[in-house]
Amino acid sequence: MKNFSTAALFLAFVSAVIPVSALSQTPANATSGTARCAFLPNAPDQHVVVRGDTLWDISGKFLQRPWCWPQVWDMNREQIRNPHWIYPGQTVYFDRVAGRLRLGKEVGGDNSGMPTVRLSPQVRSTDAASGAITTVSFKSIEQFLTKPLIVEVDELKDAPRIVATQEGHVFLASGDKAYVRGDLKDHATFEAFRPGKPLKDPVSKKIIGYEAMYLGTLKVQRTSKVELEPHTLVVLTAKEEMGVGDRLIPTEPVPFINYVPHVPPQQTDARVVSVYGGVSQAGQNQIVAINRGSKDGIDVGTVLDLRRLGLMVPDRTVGNGRGLIKLPDEQYGELFIFRVFNSISYGLVMQVQDTVQVGDIATSPE
């Protein structure tokens, strides 16, 4: 699992005054070469960024497909990926002639009547509290970013394990000591997990992983120097009952996620495996898991269309109506992938017109 830095300082990369009229002129609905990045017919001329905005929200005010905003900003991919390039108080301008969205403050004009955009060097922190807006709602996915939540078969097999509890307690509470065997690898804090509900592929019916039950956190108090003597850890928090046999995984810092949304590099046809929380349906801003992961070419930032599998219905216009036809799969929303495992990925449900159900299709946008 990757480690992320949550507080690092960077120097912004641009210090220039860019006349909008000097930029290339292309039709507003042809920036991507396809209709998927067309602007809304009632798109505003500008939008002032406010706290709580996300890039997805802002782009949704201008674009029919909000996820394709990287294609209509007048910036390169690395600039767009930068997590500290847009802040509350800045203004997004819609250049209708060039078919571009531009960021800045109006500091003058030119013969075209369009504003000149000034981008100045600034030092910013990449910590989520710094104020920079994110691609999607960080609050919606924060708890899913560091905890494994999905474990492969036998993934916890060699992880450190609790072998005894303080004074024979059946379950551990905050402040209790836990005696642990296994290689701690010099880590200072751990999270306790227990394999939970098996996740089955809706198509193959095979178990492809388990939802891990998060139990709490522990801190190393003393490491053992003797082979048969366990390490001593102290429970910092106990969210669920924690005891002998539960497994430990090193704690990771919460990353600052601001990835560029993109279509998968190859045609993807996935299915919704589960809705987080043990419920059968999901709505907007809820979390679902799909049966595709890194081995299938899925990575963080992948955007997929959510579709309901078309039903088989009788054709009542032919013969006795016993002939069956399949109705088209209906697209009703979008899914933003933010956490990827080997065979499973977590996605945030975006802009749905219907509820998401286990077995629904998640496919490459058309």
What is the mean pLDDT of the segment spanning 108-123? 41
The pLDDT value recorded for residue 126 is: 40
Q: What is the pLDDT of residue 217?
A: 95
SS (H, E, C) 110-126: CCCCCEEEEECCCEEEC
pLDDT at residue 45 tops 50: yes
Give span(s): CATH 2.40.10.410, the chain.
269-363
Q: Give per-residue pLDDT as tens, 52-82.
A: 888 888 888 999 888 888 888 766 666 666 6
pLDDT computed for residue 244 by the predictor: 94
- Give the per-residue pLDDT at 81: 60
More confident residue, 303 or 115: 303
pLDDT at residue number 235: 97
User: What pLDDT score does 224 carry?
Assistant: 92
Using CA atoms, how far residue 221 sits from 174, 218, 313, in Å, is 14, 9, 64
Beta bridge partners of 302: 262
Task: Indicate if the pLDDT at residue 111 is higher than 50.
Answer: no
Q: What is the mean pLDDT of the chain?
A: 77
| CATH of region 269-363, choose from 3.90.1150.10, 3.40.50.2000, 3.40.640.10, 2.40.10.410 | 2.40.10.410
Identify which has the larger pLDDT, 298 or 19: 298
Q: Write out the H or E segment, with its range, that includes residue 357.
A: strand 356-357
Reading phi first (left if > 0) and then psi (alpha if -120 to 50, else beta), residue 58 is in alpha
Q: What is the pLDDT of residues 149-203, one digit of tens each?
A: 788 767 777 899 999 998 878 899 999 999 999 999 999 999 999 888 888 888 8
**Above 90 in pLDDT, residue 317?**
no
Determine the average pLDDT of the residues in 122-148.
64
357: tokens are: 């159900």
What's the pTM?
0.69
At residue 34, the pLDDT reads 41
Structure confidence by residue, pLDDT tens digits, 207-258 = 888 888 889 999 999 999 888 899 999 999 998 899 999 999 998 776 656 6
Cα atoms in the 13 Å half-sphere on the side-chain side of 346: 22
Q: In angstroms, rounded to a whole number, what is the distance separating the alpha carbons of residues 138 and 256? A: 8
**What is the pLDDT averaged over residues 84-97?**
84
Q: According to the model, what pLDDT value does residue 335 have?
A: 93
- pLDDT per residue over 332-358, tens digit each? 989 999 989 888 999 999 877 888 988
Q: Give me the pLDDT at residue 128, please.
A: 42
Rounded Cα distance between 296 and 298, Å, is: 6
- Residue 297's pLDDT band, with cuts at 50, 70 and 90, is very high
